[in-house]
């Protein structure tokens, strides 16, 4: 079944493994360097061009908004995204995380800039993502570790991704989440787009930025 019928689709080998491995190692080096500089008081914790560990959705995970490599990947993937979704898409932003043991991605839907999204497995241990294909709203309140979900909410569809695999999904329509991570490290990059003719394209141009690669 296609993205049009399910609002999600897995693309196997969307990114060559060699390229995914390169980006994974780039993120690992960045994380270690930023951690070192933060502990040594050599880096302003509010520097918008560096990653951080203050993500509200996954506290403690190393996260990075609008990294230049990832924003380049965002543009690189547009032809594939258009072909698989059948939509004319415009890029909004990227977000990258290095998940570590014990991290949880709580059940949620995304904001308008994530209308058409991907999660691409760059490297590390595999960690399945779950989707609720019904499109229902099962979140009572909260965000991140304060999320309260309705009793009896659907368990969802499990999607397993290998290095280089990519899941395309309708982030604003489908609740998605990950159970507690039991591995050592898992790197995912989220590539976000808007439908060029949709309700959000004009109000969310580049996620409110003048150009890709700059802070929001």
State the pLDDT at residue 145: 84
State the pLDDT at residue 206: 97
**For the chain, what is the mean pLDDT?**
95
Token pair recorded at residue 35: 């951690």
- Cα Dmax for the chain: 51
More confident residue, 148 or 23: 23
CATH number for position 68: 2.60.120.620
- Complete DSSP assignment for 53-107: S--SSSTTSEEEES-HHHHHHHHHTHHHHHHHH-S-EEEEEEEEEEEETT--EEE
Half-sphere exposure of 200 (CA within 13 A, CB side): 21
Per-residue pLDDT, averaged over 22-29, amounts to: 98
Q: Alpha-carbon torsion 121, 135, 57, 102, what sign? A: negative
Radius of gyration of the chain (CA): 17
- The verdict on residue 144 lying in a domain is yes
Give how many domains the chain has, as a whole number.
1
DSSP state of 216: -
Per-residue pLDDT, averaged over 198-205, amounts to: 90
State the pLDDT at residue 1: 65
Q: pLDDT tens, 115-129?
A: 999 999 999 999 999
3-14 burial, b at 16+ Cβ within 10 Å, e below that, comes to: beeebbbebeeb
Percent of the chain with pLDDT over 70: 100
pLDDT at 146 over 90: no
What is this structure's pTM? Answer: 0.95
pLDDT at 18 over 70: yes
Judged by average pLDDT, the poorest of 39-48, 189-198, 201-210 is: 39-48
Contact yes or no for 163/25 (Cβ under 8 A): no
Judged by average pLDDT, the poorest of 45-49, 89-93, 108-112 is: 45-49
Q: List the domain range (segments joined by +) for residue 182.
A: 3-39+52-196
- The verdict on residue 107 lying in a domain is yes
Percent of the chain with pLDDT over 90: 87
Q: pLDDT tens, 33-85?
A: 999 999 998 888 777 788 999 998 999 999 999 999 999 999 999 999 999 99
pLDDT at 28 over 80: yes
- Complete DSSP assignment for 103-131: --EEEE---GGGSEEEEEEEEES---EEE
- The verdict on residue 205 lying in a domain is no
């Amino acid at each position: 079944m296609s993205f049009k019928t399910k609002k999600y689709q897995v693309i196997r080998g969307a990114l060559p493994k060699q390229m995914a491995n390169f980006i994974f190692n780039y993120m690992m080096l960045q994380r270690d360097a930023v951690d070192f500089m933060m502990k040594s008081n050599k880096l302003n914790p509010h520097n918008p061009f560096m990653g951080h560990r203050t993500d509200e959705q996954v506290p403690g995970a190393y996260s990075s908004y609008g990294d230049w490599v990832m924003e380049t990947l965002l543009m690189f993937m547009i032809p594939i995204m258009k072909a698989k979704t059948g939509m004319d898409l415009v890029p909004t932003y990227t977000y990258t995380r290095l998940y570590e043991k014990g991290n949880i991605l709580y059940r949620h839907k995304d904001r308008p800039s994530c209308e058409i999204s991907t999660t691409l497995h760059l490297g590390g241990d595999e960690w399945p993502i779950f989707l609720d294909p019904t499109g229902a709203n099962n979140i009572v309140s909260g965000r991140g570790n304060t999320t309260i979900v309705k009793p009896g909410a659907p368990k969802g569809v499990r999607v397993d991704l290998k290095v280089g695999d990519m899941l395309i999904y309708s982030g604003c329509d489908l609740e998605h989440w990950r159970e507690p991570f039991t591995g050592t490290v898992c790197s995912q990059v989220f590539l976000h787009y808007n439908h060029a003719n949709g309700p959000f394209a004009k109000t969310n141009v580049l996620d409110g930025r003048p150009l890709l690669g700059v802070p929001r």
